[in-house]
């Protein structure tokens, strides 16, 4: 059993150093002082051991340092329990002995305390006397008890000013210190780190010819008799974004010769993560969240900026919007490592501060996003399901800041990608937040896949190649008119008495595809050929900021006197199956919320039967197989009220989010390449997920309790 615990602790990275060792390049920057105590920090992560050295840590109830002391080889008397470095006199490291008698490197424990951790990392005893660092330039004697701040953070900030004013606490007194990490925040979050204009100019100069979006048009039938008319003739508009210029993982190889290539190939990102650290996140959940955040930080490039908001009963900004340069990533890792769980769940306050960071930044990047993670229900803004008025749904839109709601559909939209963690989160509110803002909702059912879910998300965010995409559909023949366009969650409208239509698609990741069914009437004509529609689009290149206008693609069909036989387009049939499957999912969910689970299951079963009888279904189409597997999974999760409440609702909502935006979300084993349910994944997402799986020990990627059917031999390929 002891060996199993040790392996578990290593897998979670629970005993790693919060004092991030410096790299060889840090000597010139003066970011850190002294030698590394746990090896060197390397940008080019080549293996699991290298990656673990970067990960922030948190103790869990089962990770007691007392067990390590008994092992002998890691005695707390000789080894720092934070960095696992040797504590020996004369090696240039100050040593701190706490009132509980455990000892640590002074810089390790002072860094911990700086962010509010006032308990012993070994025995979890609350300290009455805490270590802190003072500026080496001050005139006060240090008596060997302090070192220069390892991350070179300002010693003049409010945190240190507060510490200096605190009186020394008598160890015999029982009074408790107020947590010091709740330092005052500026009234305006306009303190974002400036952009590197020199780098941006070089990036635009090095950018070659702009790769264009690919448009393909598929009419339902390519031939229609002159004497025939159709009231609901379908035309599929298929869009595919350009490839990414490089498939290099952005966080790897910052020190390589390919720096310019890896950074100029995509638009830089401003990212804010809003993280739930309420009491329910204690233990393994918080440890896994820190590890996942470490992966995100490591894979952001020096042109990207990150800010982290932590919320429980209140919310606080851990650090301003900061470039993820060498020093920026090290500081971000240490700040994330400082998180401790306590309190309630105030999602609205967390989102308010996250939106405030992006709204009030002085320098705005065109690509920005918020990642929200929570494992519970908001207990401050929205009434719980039990206390809500019977028959009335809570107003989840009240959780979303007005600045995000007001910009919905605009070119300055701030999407919130929401992640529901575990079975106790409020999936309805998380889905509503994501839909309102233009983001996606993912359901992290198994705790161990949180990193893969984050990896898939940032794999997309770090590969934006199209911005502000708008598709225009115009009728050409005088007798043709448009019906309302089925565009999922995308805004669409039909104007000019049905003669013209628009679809606002927004941003696209590299290699992403979008399909839209446009329905028109086809009149009786005397012509041999009829041009029904003209489809064009315009978007902005995120790197050069140039507007790209693509000339229209015409939709033509032949009109002979008679037609012996005509075959429906399998592409149109496939998309029609997808749209109808989404409608069945939404209908089944509505019925399930009314308690009619057997009826909900029947709706899904009927759609599966029609799916298998369709032209695309009979041909073994990969998307149809994936849809069937997903519908079957939803049926199983609606088998009982308990099952539906625990995971069915979240699974269905995450599926609806994915299909309505045609963008990958995490649910069940959807991030697993062997799963049938992984539609909309792009190569950039797959690359990032694969990297996460390589760096994440397989023992901590548990098998979900329910897996999609594997009755088909070949797994589907990404669309």
Confidence of residue 82 (pLDDT cuts 50, 70, 90): low
- CA dist 190 to 194, 315, 357, 362, Å? 10, 18, 8, 5
Q: What is the per-residue pLDDT for 32?
A: 34
**Burial degree of 460 (CB within 10 A; 0-12, 13-18, 19+):** buried
Query: DSSP 3-state helix, strand, coil percentages of the chain (rounded to 5)?
Result: 35, 20, 50
Q: Dump pLDDT digits (tens) for 566-625.
A: 899 999 999 999 999 999 999 999 999 999 999 999 999 999 999 999 999 999 999 999
The residue assigned the tokens 């199956």 is 577
| Arithmetic mean of pLDDT, 213-223 | 96
Whether 634 and 652 have beta carbons less than 8 Å apart is answered as yes
- For the record, the structure tokens of 64 come out as 């007691």
- What is the C-alpha to C-alpha distance for residues 701 and 446, in angstroms, rounded to an integer? 8
- For the record, the structure tokens of 477 come out as 């023949």
Lowest mean pLDDT across 67-76, 277-286, 488-497, 498-507: 67-76
The candidate with the shortest Cα–Cα distance to 113, out of 264, 293, 411, 334, is 334
| Torsion 300-468-581-638 (CA) sign | positive
Q: Dump pLDDT digits (tens) for 88-99.
A: 776 677 888 888
Confidence of residue 133 (pLDDT cuts 50, 70, 90): low
The candidate with the shortest Cα–Cα distance to 81, out of 151, 131, 9, is 9
Report whether pLDDT(19) > 50. no
Average pLDDT over all residues of the chain: 77
Q: Dump pLDDT digits (tens) for 679-708.
A: 799 999 999 999 998 876 544 444 443 333
**Burial degree of 18 (CB within 10 A; 0-12, 13-18, 19+):** buried
Report whether pLDDT(142) > 60. no
Lowest mean pLDDT across 23-32, 280-289, 301-310, 642-651: 23-32
Q: What is the per-residue pLDDT for 184?
A: 74
Three-state secondary structure of 381-425: CCCCCCCCCCCCCCCHHHHCCHHHHHCCCCCCCCCEEEEEECCCC
- For the record, the structure tokens of 38 come out as 């746990």
- What is the C-alpha to C-alpha distance for residues 305 and 269, in angstroms, rounded to an integer? 6
Please state the pTM of the whole predicted model. Answer: 0.73
Sequence-distant (6+) residues with CB within 8 A of 270 are 304, 305, 321, 358, 361, 364, 365, 367, 368, 369
Q: What is the per-residue pLDDT for 715?
A: 41
């Amino acid at each position: 059993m002891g060996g199993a615990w040790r392996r578990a602790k290593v897998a979670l990275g629970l005993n790693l150093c919060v004092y991030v060792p410096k790299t060889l390049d840090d000597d010139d920057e003066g970011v850190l002082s002294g030698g590394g105590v746990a090896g060197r920090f390397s940008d080019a992560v080549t293996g699991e051991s290298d990656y673990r050295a970067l990960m922030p840590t948190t103790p869990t109830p089962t990770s007691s340092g007392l067990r390590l002391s008994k092992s002998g080889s890691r005695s707390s008397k000789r080894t720092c329990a934070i960095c696992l470095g040797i504590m020996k006199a004369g090696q240039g490291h100050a040593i701190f002995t706490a009132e509980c008698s455990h000892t640590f490197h002074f810089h390790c424990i002072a860094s911990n305390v700086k962010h509010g951790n006032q308990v012993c990392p070994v025995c979890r005893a609350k300290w009455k006397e805490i270590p802190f660092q003072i500026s080496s330039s001050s005139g006060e004697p240090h008596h060997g008890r302090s070192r220069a701040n390892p991350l070179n953070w300002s010693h003049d900030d409010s945190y240190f000013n507060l510490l200096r004013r605190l009186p020394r606490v008598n160890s015999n007194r029982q009074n408790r210190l107020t947590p010091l990490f709740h330092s005052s925040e500026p009234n305006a979050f306009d303190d974002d780190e400036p952009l590197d204009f020199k780098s941006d100019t070089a990036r635009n100069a090095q950018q070659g010819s702009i790769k264009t979006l690919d448009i393909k048009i598929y009419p339902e039938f390519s031939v229609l008799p002159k004497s025939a008319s159709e009231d609901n003739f379908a035309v599929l508009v298929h869009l595919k974004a350009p490839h990414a210029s490089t498939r290099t993982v952005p966080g790897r190889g910052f020190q390589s010769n390919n720096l310019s290539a890896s950074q100029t190939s995509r638009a830089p990102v401003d990212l804010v993560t809003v993280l739930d650290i309420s009491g329910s996140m204690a233990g393994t959940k918080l440890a896994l969240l820190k590890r996942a955040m470490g992966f995100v930080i490591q894979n952001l490039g020096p042109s990207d900026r990150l800010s982290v908001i932590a919320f429980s009963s209140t919310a606080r900004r851990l650090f301003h919007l900061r470039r993820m340069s060498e020093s920026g990533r090290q500081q971000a890792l240490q700040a994330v490592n400082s998180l401790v769980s306590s309190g309630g769940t105030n999602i609205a306050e967390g989102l308010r501060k996250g939106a405030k960071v992006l709204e009030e930044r002085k320098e705005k990047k065109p690509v920005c996003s918020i990642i929200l993670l929570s494992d519970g229900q908001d207990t401050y803004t929205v009434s719980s399901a039990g206390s809500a008025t019977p028959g009335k749904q809570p107003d989840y839109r009240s959780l979303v800041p007005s600045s995000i709601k007001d910009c919905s559909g605009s070119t300055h939209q701030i999407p919130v990608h929401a992640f529901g963690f575990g079975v106790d989160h409020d999936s309805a509110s998380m889905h509503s937040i994501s839909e309102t803002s233009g983001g996606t909702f993912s359901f992290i059912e198994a705790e161990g896949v949180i990193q893969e879910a984050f990896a898939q998300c940032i794999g997309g965010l770090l590969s934006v190649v199209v911005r502000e995409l708008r598709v225009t559909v115009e009728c050409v023949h005088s007798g043709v008119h448009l019906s309302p366009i089925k565009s999922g969650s995308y805004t669409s409208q039909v104007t000019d008495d049905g003669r013209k239509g628009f679809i606002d698609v927004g941003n696209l990741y590299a290699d992403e595809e979008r399909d839209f069914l446009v329905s028109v009437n086809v009149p009786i004509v005397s012509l041999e050929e009829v041009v029904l529609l003209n489809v064009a689009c315009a978007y902005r290149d995120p790197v050069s900021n140039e507007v790209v206008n693509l000339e229209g693609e015409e939709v033509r069909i032949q009109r002979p006197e008679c037609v012996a036989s005509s075959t429906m387009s399998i592409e149109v049939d496939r998309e029609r199956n997808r749209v109808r499957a989404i409608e069945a999912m939404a209908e089944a969910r509505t019925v399930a919320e009314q308690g009619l689970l057997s009826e909900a299951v029947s709706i899904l079963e009927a759609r599966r039967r029609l799916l298998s009888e369709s032209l695309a279904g009979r041909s073994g189409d990969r998307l149809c197989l994936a849809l069937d597997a997903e519908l079957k999974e939803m049926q199983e999760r609606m088998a009982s009220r308990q099952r539906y409440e625990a995971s069915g609702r979240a699974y269905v909502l995450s599926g609806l989010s994915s299909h309505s935006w045609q963008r990958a979300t995490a649910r069940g084993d959807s991030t697993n390449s062997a799963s049938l349910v992984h539609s909309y994944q792009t190569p950039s997402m797959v690359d990032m997920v694969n990297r996460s799986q390589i760096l994440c020990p397989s023992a901590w990627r548990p098998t979900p309790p329910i897996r999609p059917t594997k009755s088909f031999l070949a797994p589907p390929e990404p669309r």
